[in-house]
């Protein structure tokens, strides 16, 4: 029987975003629950597609050496946005460390981290968190970490952990499973009483987010190859972090890392996977449409399509730090007289409040969206009919957000007057990647002709079965499709 502490801190930081991430963003949450402490981690997060949920479940289920004593510390996550304030990071990090020390002697620590958090003072926030933890617990305590597939992994973070594992899917439908894999590694590490040989390498390019999708090539075959290499080399674990290109930091790059008993086999396995990824460099490409071209093509396809044509508004994806309030695609849909089109989600608390005051059936003059300064975006000024209102509190139903309590604040379904172009408006951000968002405002998304979704890839997990085609669009937004150069 082991005593194991469990914690988590998740944020994917878009350093190009002008919107900072304060402590309140972690307290309130959004697409995921707000800050959880102690026992509430188990009661609130159980059953969700989150690494920490998989960790807690696996620890309680393991009976190889008797029931483990689990010490839940805290778990906090905020919607991707700009740099995390130093105050927010310091408060959460200090609380986690204090709870770890108060838990008494523990045999191991397992953490659900992202790997691409940047604060005002720390480009490698996860590395800084582990540095602070090691200052208090020393180097002997076994620590295993789960990371997002988009982690920008630093050498210092790698060195501070006994082992790390990343998700293997994008959309991230295996987060819970990854947490369980991390637990298996931690238990192995504690039972064997020593760490493995650790191998790490960085790859000198990074791919656009939409090209990292593991449902498509080349990522699909590379991930299958990863699992084959891991098995053939007899490794404890092999991971590939694709990196997060919207972070202007030195560690924004792809990395491969592995753990095994045989140093030579471990090094060869990591080098082999890295070489396979590098060989595919020219295949990590995308050819996005302009908003006007995308709408014209969507209208052409919709004439004969039995399911919606999806416009992927990747540059304003709040799941990658976008503001979720740009209006480039909405404007193009209206300008080209698109029929039965729906845009989701435009985050505009003032517009949502005005709709709730006016009630369904009313017509409002609004300057919708465009309030966060982003090049090329301005508010959409027009008249809107209020069709439906909603609380913004509902439960996710798709593969990624299933069972997650979602709180987007007051929401409204608006229709641009004299058109059939509608907009879902929220008071908090979440990428439009779960059908529950639409049903919450009384819409069956499959009944629309054109769906404009502020998401890059995650929408494919829940919308692939109800779409006829997907067009990636380069509209204004903070998540620019172009790849920033890798710092030398």
pLDDT of res. 64? 55
- State how far the Cα of 164 lies from the Cα of 109, in Å rounded to an integer: 12
* Per-residue model confidence (pLDDT) at position 484: 38
Contact 133, 156 (CB under 8 A): no
Cβ-contact 68, 4 below 8 angstroms: yes
Cα separation of 414 and 418, whole Å?
A: 12
Give the total residue count for the chain. 488
In eight-state DSSP terms, residue 449 is S
Q: Could you write out the DSSP letters of every residue in 245-282? A: TT--STT-SEEEEEEES-HHHHHHHHHHHHHHHHHTGG
pLDDT of residue 481: 59
Predicted pLDDT at 377: 87
Query: Mind giving me the DSSP string for 299-345?
Result: HHHHTT-SSPEEEEEGGG-GGGT--S---HHHHHHHHTT-SSEEEEE
pTM: 0.94
Phi, psi of 160 (to 5 degrees): -80, -10
- For residue 281, how many other CB atoms are within 10 A of its CB? 14
The first and second tokens of residue 91, run together, are 């408060």
- Which pLDDT score is estimated for 286? 76
Q: Give the whole-angstrom CA distance, residue 468 versus residue 470.
A: 7
* Per-residue model confidence as pLDDT tens for the chain (488 residues): 899 999 999 999 999 998 899 999 999 987 899 999 999 999 999 999 999 999 999 998 865 555 689 999 999 999 999 999 999 999 999 999 999 999 989 999 999 999 999 999 999 999 999 999 999 999 999 999 999 999 999 999 999 999 999 999 999 999 999 999 999 999 999 999 999 999 999 998 999 999 999 999 999 999 999 999 999 999 999 999 999 999 999 999 999 999 999 999 999 999 999 999 999 999 998 789 999 999 999 999 999 999 999 999 999 999 999 999 999 999 999 999 999 999 999 999 999 999 999 999 999 999 999 998 888 889 999 999 999 999 999 999 999 999 999 999 999 999 999 999 999 999 999 999 999 999 999 999 999 999 999 999 999 999 999 999 999 999 999 888 554 333 33
At residue 486, the pLDDT reads 37
Decide the pairing of beta strands 411-416 and 469-473: unpaired
Which pLDDT does position 88 carry in this prediction? 98
- Position 473 scores a pLDDT of 96
Within 8 A by CB and 6+ apart from 16, the residues are 246, 248, 321, 478, 479, 480
pLDDT at residue 63 in the model: 52
d(CA 244, CA 110): 23
Pairing state of beta strands 108-113 and 3-10? parallel
Q: Do residues 266 and 167 make contact, with C-beta atoms less than 8 angstroms apart?
A: no
């Amino acid at each position: 029987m082991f005593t194991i502490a469990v914690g988590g801190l998740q944020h994917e930081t878009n350093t190009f975003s002008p919107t900072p991430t304060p402590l309140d963003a972690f307290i309130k949450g959004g697409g995921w629950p707000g800050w959880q402490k102690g026992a509430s981690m188990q009661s609130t997060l159980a059953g969700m597609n989150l690494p920490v949920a998989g960790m807690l479940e696996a620890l309680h289920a393991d009976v190889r050496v008797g029931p483990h004593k689990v010490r839940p510390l805290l778990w906090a996550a905020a919607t991707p946005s700009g740099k995390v304030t130093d105050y927010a990071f310091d408060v959460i990090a200090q609380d986690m460390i204090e709870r770890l020390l108060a838990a008494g002697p523990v045999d191991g620590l397992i953490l659900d981290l992202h790997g691409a958090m940047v604060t005002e003072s720390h480009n490698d926030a996860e590395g800084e968190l582990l540095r602070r933890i090691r200052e208090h617990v020393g180097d002997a305590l076994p620590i295993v970490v789960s990371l997002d597939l988009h982690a920008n992994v630093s050498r210092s973070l790698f060195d501070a952990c006994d082992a790390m594992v990343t998700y293997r899917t994008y959309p991230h439908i295996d987060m819970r499973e990854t947490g369980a894999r991390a637990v298996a590694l931690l238990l192995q590490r504690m039972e064997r009483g020593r760490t493995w040989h650790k191998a790490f390498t960085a790859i000198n390019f990074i791919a656009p987010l939409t090209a990292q999708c593991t449902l498509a090539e080349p990522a699909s075959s590379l991930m299958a190859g990863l699992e084959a290499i891991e098995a053939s080399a007899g490794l404890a674990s092999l991971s590939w972090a694709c990196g997060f290109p919207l972070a202007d930091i030195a560690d924004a790059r792809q990395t491969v890392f592995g753990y095994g008993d045989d140093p030579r086999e471990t090094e060869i396995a990591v080098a082999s996977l890295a070489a396979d990824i590098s060989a595919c460099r020219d295949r990590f490409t995308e050819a996005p449409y302009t908003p006007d071209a995308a709408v014209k093509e969507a209208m052409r396809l919709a004439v004969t399509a039995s399911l919606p044509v999806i416009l992927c508004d990747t540059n304003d994806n709040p799941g990658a730090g976008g503001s979720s309030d740009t209006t480039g695609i909405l404007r193009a849909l209206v300008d080209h007289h698109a029929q039965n089109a729906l845009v989701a989600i435009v985050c505009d608390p003032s517009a949502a409040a005005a709709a709730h005051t006016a009630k369904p059936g009313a017509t409002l003059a609004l300057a919708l969206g465009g309030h966060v300064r982003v090049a090329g975006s301005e508010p959409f000024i027009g008249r809107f009919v209020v069709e439906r209102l909603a609380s913004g509190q509902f439960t996710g139903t798709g593969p990624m957000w299933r069972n997650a309590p979602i709180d987007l604040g007051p929401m409204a379904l608006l229709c641009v007057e004299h058109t059939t172009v509608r907009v879902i408006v929220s008071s908090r951000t979440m990428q439009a990647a779960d059908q529950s968002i639409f049903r919450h405002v009384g819409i069956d998304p499959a009944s629309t002709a054109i769906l404009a979704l502020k998401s890059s890839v995650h929408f494919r997990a829940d919308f692939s079965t109800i779409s006829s085609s997907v067009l990636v669009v380069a509209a204004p937004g903070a998540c620019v499709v172009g790849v920033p150069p890798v710092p030398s």
